[in-house]
Chain A
Amino acid sequence: MKGARWLVVCLLLGASASAAEEEARPPTRFERAVAVLGAPAVSADDSRRAKAELAAIIAGEEDSADASAARYLLGRLKQLENNEADPPEFQALRARHPGHPLAQLAALKVLLRRLYADSAESPDDRLRAGEELAAAITLPALRSDYHLAMGEAYIFHGDRREPALRHLRAAAEIGIPSAATRANVLVQIGELARLSGERAVAAASYRAFIAEFPRDLRQQIVRDRLADLEGKAP
């Protein structure tokens, strides 16, 4: 009888120890912090504690996958809450693991902020910085977003048609997950190519748009543009 009691006590202690062990594991701590930060009404104290938890994961095992995820989330929150364009966590992530998907994503997020920063930096310098990033972003899903960002930035900063067209065509070739964005890009390629005198490129892009987006509001105007290119009356 006495032995059975001890067995139960040992089992309970063992279970609570393994639960505590599970609670202390970085993935569990990361998930806990994310759950707190994602709650609809997170208090300032809870938010601070969750961020401290993320910082502790980074301090505990600097090069683990959990630490990279924690670095990304902490950096991202600084971007969004404190308007820090390139937070230290992003810099550390890019320096330690430049090829890591989250490091590439962080680089793209930093670029977006730089392209449209309210600063004295010239458009030329911003766009040059964007071009220099090209080699660092290798993940196909992000390369498409990178080219889209650059294409739109070239249009925004002075309607520079040739580089904008080059980037938008690259994005379209890689693949654009959002249908609405792809529709826009096909029209943009058509328009930019038409204005640059690349009639074949323009016509191909217009045709792709007409075929792929039959319900789009721009069907008629794109058909008109194509007819103009082909020398037919719209």
Chain B
Amino acid sequence: MKSSILVLPVLLLGAVLLSLMIGQVVLSPLQLWTGLWSGTGPGALTLRVLRGPATFTAAGAGAVLGAAGTIFQILLRNPLAAPDVMGFMSGAGLAVVAGVAFGISLPLPLLSAAGGLTAAVAVALLSVRRGAVMQSSLTLILVGIGVSFLASAASSFLITRMPPQEAADAQRWLVGSLAARSWQHAAQVCGLGALLLLVLALQVRALKVLELGDELAAGLGLRPGRARNGLIGTGVLLAAAGVAVAGPVPFVAMMAGPLGMRIAKVTAPGARLCAAAMTGAVVTILADVVARSIVPGVQLPVGVMTGIMGAPYLLWLLSKEAEAGEL
């Protein structure tokens, strides 16, 4: 199997270009180019104010979510294990909504990180079953689904208490939305994302060894518990960085890893993480393009589109796993 990781940067570039071109007004690449350099005309406005920030926010959020999902998929050896399925993102979303509802003026990334980590700890604790030496990854996933239900319900509960306009905004955000993103959002998610991806890069070697199972990892001189906690922490924070700017966009984290692995034909954890980050960015950008252009005059939240794309993928995955006898 020859790796073809170069396909992804090309796809990513294409997606960014598409996202900058398509919208209420369709621009040609030439118009964008002149806009970029001259600073005037429709190209400039679109680039700088309208589509530029949203596109780069989408790319950043998609990348962090894709990488986060792949960490859990590798650690739990299950394609269903992703922060969106397992409730970490709903937890992060709940914390942000709670912050708005109770007027806690902390930065959003901090709130969403706190929420995501709390959800992760809750899932881990609630999955411990007496008598079981190690909890099965499916228990973790199902408990995660339950935590996700709970966090979503609590978010809806809090939203009901808000004034109508705020409530409508929060509702939209909870679906996963890139509407009205500014360069600040883009810079925030890209900056935090780059930092966390750097931390992750330092952990890749540990991940490679953990992938062989805890006992072998320990035999190779790793402390499996500590290494795993570190990776989980990085994964949750990555997901939280995405949630802070785009809301709990569903299914990107789950889809990006396996999809990227297929497109780039890679298997090693480091390459898988890279591929997942780029695929996450591509998927999110394209979902946003479709979401804002499928119905004229209406901007759908990006999360609606990823939901529509992701659910069939999940079903396909189930049917495939059932055939392989893994479920």
Asked whether A and B interact, the reply is no
Q: Name A's B-contacting residues (CB within 8 A).
A: none
Q: Name B's A-contacting residues (CB within 8 A).
A: none
